[in-house]
Amino acid sequence: MPLRDGTGPIPDDWTKVEPGAPLAARSLLGLADAEARGAELGGIDPRSLGLRVANDAERARLLPWLRKVGLIALAFPSFADGRAFSLGRWLRERGHEGRLRAEGPVIADQWPHLRGCGFDEVEIPEALAARQPEAQWKAAEARIALGYQVGRPGRQAISAARREARR
């Protein structure tokens, strides 16, 4: 499925690995699979591991992986189901420094919200990418510039812009 970040379409250098299947150079594993593998993952550079996480996953299960894995891909079963916005933001607050991916049929209009919650990239279905080509995502990117919330990645808060304008 097509993958893009703030720069545009990007190649996916992660391999989705089925439960129990051999690992690849950079393996994207289901959370339960990663948990089940236990010691097998012990000798591996955790930055070469990624986790695919459902949007109703218990947050405690993610704590052992924080500050270690190179990628967390949060599922959006539908664009209207916004639970992963909170989950993504929480992961960033708790120190996840790897990539953060939204996986599912999110729409270009949500790109500013995704960026505001700390997501780096989206992996969307082919048909959706065909309907919403890159130009629409770029247009959404341009709308990030101005927002009221404080401390959001990639943009200045309106209150801070005001303060600067006064000086």
Partner 1 sequence: MYRYDEFDAAFVKARAGEFRDQVARRLSGALTEDEFKPLRLMNGLYLQLHAYMLRVAIPYGVLNGAQMRKLAEISETYDRGYGHFTTRQNIQFNWPKLKDAPAILDELASVGMHAIQTSGNCIRNTTTDPFAGVAPDEIEDPRATCELIRQWSSLHPEFTFLGRKFKIAVTGAEADRAAIRVHDIGIQIVRSEAGETGYRIFVGGGLGRTPMIGKVVREFLPKPDLLRYLEACLRIYNLHGRRDNKYKARIKILVHEIGIEAYRDEVEAEFASLAGTISPDAEEEARIAAYFASPEYAALAEASAFYERAKREDPDFAAWARRNVHPHRAPGYAAATISLKPIGGAPGDATAEQMRAMAEIAERHSLDELRVTHEQNVVLPHLKLDDLPIVWRKLKAQGLDAPNRGLVTDIIACPGLDYCALATARSIPVAQRIAERFADPTLQERIGPLSIKISGCINACGHHHIAHIGVLGLDKAGVESYQLTLGGDATETAAIGERTGPGFSYEDVVDAIETLIGAYLDRREPGETFLQCYRRLGMEAFKEPLYAAA
Q: Which residues bind partner 1 (CB under 8 A)?
A: 59, 79-83, 85-87, 89-90, 93-94, 107, 109-110, 112-117, 131-132, 136, 139, 143, 146-152, 157-159, 161-163, 165
**Secondary structure element (H or E) that encloses residue 142, with its range:** helix 134-142
Nearer to partner 1, 15 or 132 (CB): 132
**The residue to which tokens 């539908």 are assigned:** 78
Nearer to partner 1, 26 or 83 (CB): 83
Nearer to partner 1, 37 or 113 (CB): 113
**Secondary structure element (H or E) that encloses residue 128, with its range:** helix 126-131
For residue 19, how far is the Cα from the chain centroid? Answer: 21
Nearer to partner 1, 7 or 162 (CB): 162
- Residue 51 CA to residue 49 CA, distance in Å, equals 7
Nearer to partner 1, 50 or 116 (CB): 116
Please count the other Cβ atoms lying within 10 Å of the Cβ belonging to residue 106.
Answer: 26
Backbone φ and ψ of 28, nearest 5°: -100, 110
Burial of 95 (0-12, 13-18, 19+ CB in 10 A): exposed
**The residue to which tokens 């065909």 are assigned:** 130
